[in-house]
Amino acid sequence: MQPGSDLAILRRRIAAAQSITVLTGAGISADSGVPTFRGADGLWRNFRAEDLATPEAFERDPRLIWEWYNWRRELIATKRPNPAHEAVAELERRCERFWLITQNVDGLHRAAGSRKLSEIHGNIWTVRCTGCGTIADNHDVPIAILPFCQCGSLLRPHIVWFGESLFPDDLSQCAAALRRCDVLLVIGTSGVVYPAAGFASVAKETGAFVAEINLDPTPQSSLVDLSLQGRAKEIVPLLLE
């Protein structure tokens, strides 16, 4: 490795940081075999996520939406965290002021040992009652279609769909983590879905060094201080060496 290479620069920034925040997207789990949303394999029965992940779609056809989630639960249940998830968990252990913001609903960060995290789009293993609002873990694979609460109302995935607000506690936790961090790592997200797509600029405005790790350039690439192009599972572990 060249001493002045981007990788060496980022390693030094990480080693010197008092506070680190990490933002992840589907690309980090792609290396575990979970399809991304906007990649070629992200389609299910020719629907795009934007057609399925809305409250209107669920109201119109809850069976269709639950069939999509059941397909994804079956797929994710067979997947394990990869070296990138493990390196993020290790970063948490090494850095006292650490926060992970993930857009992923697959639970693989928790499985890798991450504990200081906000799952800002929810979790595919959690359900919420559309009647009484009760939130519960549910690991059934397959899940009953349709699943009902004890109160008799329909259950929905405890996931943030398009047009729905993020959970207020998560938003305040994320805002604090973005403001205080010296380094923000943005890993494997296309950077098109808000509000997460705005997080890199929030951290930059408050003086953080922002680095992006992605297979391809993204709309954020021109904004960040440094871009490392490649697979998350190959690059992220190198940041800790």
CA 33/CA 182 separation, integer angstroms: 31
Judging by DSSP bridges, how do beta strands 122-129 and 155-159 pair with one another? antiparallel
Residue 149 interaction partner, one of ligand BJW, Zn ion, none, beta carbon < 5-8 Å per kind:
Zn ion
Strand partners, 44: 47
Q: Least Å distance between CB 29 and ligand BJW?
A: 9
Smallest Cα–Cα separation from 101: which of 87, 116, 91?
116
Decide: 22 and 91 in contact? Cβ < 8 Å: yes
CB 165 within 8 A of CB 5: no
Please say which residue, 99 or 125, places its beta carbon nearer to ligand BJW. 125
Phi, psi of 44 (to 5 degrees): -130, 120
Q: How many CB atoms lie within 10 A of CB 223?
A: 15
Q: Please report whether residue 95 would count as binding ligand BJW according to CB under 6 A.
A: no
Beta bridge partners of 231: none
Report yes or no: 105 and 121 within 8 Å, Cβ to Cβ: yes
Q: From the list 114, 214, 220, 227, which residue makes contact with ligand BJW (rule: CB under 6 A)?
A: 214
Tokens encoding 125: 């293993």
Report if residue 169 touches ligand BJW, rule: CB under 6 A. Answer: no
Nearer residue to ligand BJW within complex by CB, 37 or 47? 37
39 binding Zn ion? (CB under 5 A):
no
List 17, 23, 117, 149, residue binding Zn ion (CB under 5 A)? 149
Q: Is 68 annotated as a binding residue?
A: no
Tell me how far, at minimum, the Cβ of 35 lies from ligand BJW, in Å: 8
Give me the torsion for CA of 208, 230, 1, 185, rounded to 10°: 20
Which of 70, 162, 221, 238 forms a contact with ligand BJW (CB under 6 A)?
162
Which are the catalytic amino acids? 121
Which one of 7, 111, 154, 159 is in contact with ligand BJW (CB under 6 A)? 159
Indicate the residue type of 65. Answer: I
Among 21, 114, 118, 189, binds ligand BJW (CB under 6 A): 189
Residues touching ligand BJW, count (CB under 6 A): 34
CA distances from residue 38 to 49, 123, 185, 200, 232 in whole angstroms, order as listed:
8, 19, 21, 20, 17
Residues forming contacts to ligand BJW in the complex (CB under 6 A) are 25-27, 30-31, 36-39, 42, 49, 53, 103, 105, 121, 159-160, 162-165, 188-190, 192-195, 214-216, 218, 231-232
Residues placed in the known binding site for Zn(2+): 129, 132, 149, 151
* Positions that interact with Zn ion (CB under 5 A): 129, 131-132, 149, 151, 153
